[in-house]
């Protein structure tokens, strides 16, 4: 008997993950993760000379089995290809049959930015009005599109290694402006979003003023984009405390730190641990990427997608 498999395109994934429903789905997923209701084995890595491939499966009761394969090849820009490419496969939890294949590159971009934006919804000061985005690539664009969903932003500053890239991204939002000095931009911002491929810190802890919320989604050796000493004067939030494990499961910036010092986003969502406790508190969200994000994003897309293309296996 032929098995029909639904195929969902990049354009349809992007359309389905453009609104606040994504943030609500991620919040629900993180709460389930913190309650121990998600089965998600530690992601595994296959490294080759030019890049690496990660496998990320997840399942929770009542849902499908979702497996993402994401390939990260930093040299792809010179070839006109994305540095991150992915595919997401959905399997029926009763039969194991593959029921859908979705563009995982768009899912990865949207769910990663969505988790950072959810952290801002939970942790940034309610009166936050100024955002600085460091990095003008795929994540910079996704943050630019999604962050205004959670705060009434008046100014968005965009910095990049190449100023022309920052200018190009800034043209997509009338509130946005390209800036040359990251230090000056960060020093007077309410929210700072790090969206780079840097293997060393792109800001200094001293630039961050009291009351700021900082998000970091970059993942690259040896040190990562987030300054380690910033964590010493801030409250740290993560998707899961697995972020403290050795890479590729965990983050470069968190190696050797005490996992008990961090709060999971799902704990804040559920109200079992506090989020921001004072206006002057610096809050930091460090992402590692977790399969539950792909799981909830894929389920949301399949509920909303108009694209009904199928193939037979």
- Give 71-83 pLDDT, tens digit per residue: 999 889 889 888 8
Phi, psi values for residue 259, rounded to 5°: -60, -30
**What residue spans define the domains of the chain?**
4-107+292-312, 116-290
Same fold, 4-107+292-312 and 116-290: no
- Residue 311's pLDDT is 55
Give the per-residue pLDDT at 1.
60
Q: Which of 197, 233, 182 is nearest to 212 (CA)?
A: 233
Contact 274, 268 (CB under 8 A): yes
Predicted local distance difference test score (pLDDT) of residue 107: 97
Q: Which helix (H) or strand (E) holds 115?
A: helix 104-123
Fold type of domain 116-290 = Rossmann fold (3.40.50)
pLDDT at site 221:
87
Helix axes 163-170, 138-146, angle to 10 degrees: 30
Residue 182 and residue 203 in contact, taking contact as beta carbons nearer than 8 Å: yes
Burial class of 47 by CB neighbour count within 10 A (0 to 12, 13 to 18, 19+): exposed
Model pLDDT, residue 249: 84
- pLDDT score for 252: 92
Q: Rounded distance, CA 174 to CA 20, Å?
A: 21
Rounded CA separation 242/250 (Å): 6
Give the tokens for residue 312.
């037979």
pLDDT for position 310: 54
| Residues in Cβ contact with 17 at an 8 Å cutoff, skipping those fewer than 6 apart | 106, 107, 110, 111, 114, 297, 300, 301
pLDDT of residue 74: 83
pTM of the model: 0.94
Residue 198 dihedral angles phi and psi, to the nearest 5°: -75, 145
CATH number given to 4-107+292-312: 3.30.1780.10
**Stretches in the chain below the pLDDT threshold 70:** 1-2, 307-313
pLDDT at 128 (0 to 100):
98
């Amino acid at each position: 008997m032929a098995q029909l498999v639904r195929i969902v395109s990049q354009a349809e994934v992007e359309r389905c993950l453009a609104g606040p429903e994504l943030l609500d789905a991620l919040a629900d997923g993180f709460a389930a993760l913190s309650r121990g209701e998600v089965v998600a084995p530690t992601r595994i890595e296959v490294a080759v000379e030019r890049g690496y491939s990660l496998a990320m499966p997840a399942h929770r009761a009542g849902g499908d089995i979702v497996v993402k394969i994401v390939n990260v090849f930093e040299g792809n820009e010179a070839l006109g290809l994305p540095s991150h490419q992915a595919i997401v496969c959905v399997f029926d939890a009763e039969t194991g049959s593959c029921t859908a294949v979705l563009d995982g590159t768009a899912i990865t971009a949207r769910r990663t930015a969505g988790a950072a934006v959810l952290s801002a919804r939970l942790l940034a000061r309610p009166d936050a009005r100024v955002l600085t985005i460091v990095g003008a690539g795929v994540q910079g664009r996704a943050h630019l599109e999604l962050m205004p969903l959670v705060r009434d932003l008046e100014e968005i500053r965009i910095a990049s290694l190449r100023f022309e890239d920052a200018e190009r991204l800034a043209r997509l939002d009338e509130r946005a402006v390209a800036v040359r000095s990251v230090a000056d931009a960060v020093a007077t911002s309410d929210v700072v979003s790090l969206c780079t491929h840097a293997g060393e810190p792109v800001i200094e802890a001293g630039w961050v003023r009291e009351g700021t919320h900082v998000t970091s989604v970059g993942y690259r050796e040896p040190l990562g984009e987030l300054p380690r000493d910033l964590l010493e004067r801030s409250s740290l939030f993560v998707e899961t405390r697995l972020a403290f494990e050795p890479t590729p499961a965990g983050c470069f910036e968190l190696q050797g730190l005490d996992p008990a010092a961090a709060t999971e986003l799902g704990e804040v969502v559920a109200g079992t641990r506090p989020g921001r406790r004072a206006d002057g508190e610096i809050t930091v969200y460090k992402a590692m990427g977790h399969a539950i994000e792909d799981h909830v994003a894929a389920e949301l897309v399949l509920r909303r997608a108009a694209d009904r293309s199928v193939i037979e296996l």
